[in-house]
Amino acid sequence: MCAKIEDDTLNGELYKNLLKGNRQFVQDTLKLDPHYFENLAKGQSPPVLWIGCADSRVPANQITNTAPGEIFVHRNIANMVIHSDMNMLSVLDYAVNVLKVKQVIVTGHYGCGGVMAAISNEQFGLIDNWLRHIKDVYRLHADELDKITDIDERCDRLVEYNVIENVYNLCKTSIVQNAWHSGQPLGVHGWVYSLKTGIITDLKVSAYDDANMDNVFKFK
Ligand code: CO
Distance from residue 109's CA to the centre of ligand 1 (Å): 6
Q: Evaluate if residue 6 carries a pLDDT over 80.
A: no
| CATH architecture of residue range(s) 44-217 | 3-Layer(aba) Sandwich (3.40)
Q: What are the distances in angstroms from CA 24 to CA 17, 58, 124, 166? A: 10, 22, 39, 38
How far apart are alpha carbons 78 and 162 in whole angstroms? 8
Distance from residue 6's CA to the centre of ligand 1 (Å): 30
Provide the annotated active-site residues. 53, 55, 57, 109, 112
Is beta strand 200-202 parallel, antiparallel or unpaired with respect to 103-109? Answer: unpaired
Task: Please state the domain extents for the chain.
Answer: 8-43, 44-217
Q: Evaluate if residue 2 carries a pLDDT over 60.
A: no
How large is the angle between the packed helices 151-172 and 174-181, nearest 10 degrees? 50
State the pTM of this model: 0.93
Distance from residue 81's CA to the centre of ligand 1 (Å): 14
Distance from residue 114's CA to the centre of ligand 1 (Å): 5
How far apart are alpha carbons 86 and 212 in whole angstroms? 26
Q: Could you report the per-residue pLDDT of 182-216, keeping only the tens digit for each?
A: 999 999 999 999 999 999 999 999 999 999 999 99
Distance from residue 57's CA to the centre of ligand 1 (Å): 9
3-state SS record for the chain? CHHHHHHHCCCHHHHHHHHHHHHHHHHHHHHHCCCHHHHHCCCCCCCEEEEEECCCCCCHHHHCCCCCCCEEEEEECCCCCCCCCHHHHHHHHHHHHHCCCCEEEEEEECCCHHHHHHHCCCCCCCHHHHHHHHHHHHHHCHHHHHHCCCHHHHHHHHHHHHHHHHHHHHHHCHHHHHHHHCCCCCEEEEEEECCCCCCEEECCCCECCCCCCCHHHCCC
Distance from residue 174's CA to the centre of ligand 1 (Å): 27
pLDDT at 45: 97
Q: Could you report the per-residue pLDDT of 90-120, keeping only the tens digit for each?
A: 999 999 999 999 999 999 999 999 999 999 9
Q: Could you report the per-residue pLDDT of 23-81, keeping only the tens digit for each?
A: 999 999 999 999 999 999 999 999 999 999 999 999 999 999 999 999 999 999 999 99
Query: In this structure, which residues have their CB less than 5 angstroms from ion ligand 1?
Result: 53, 55, 112, 114
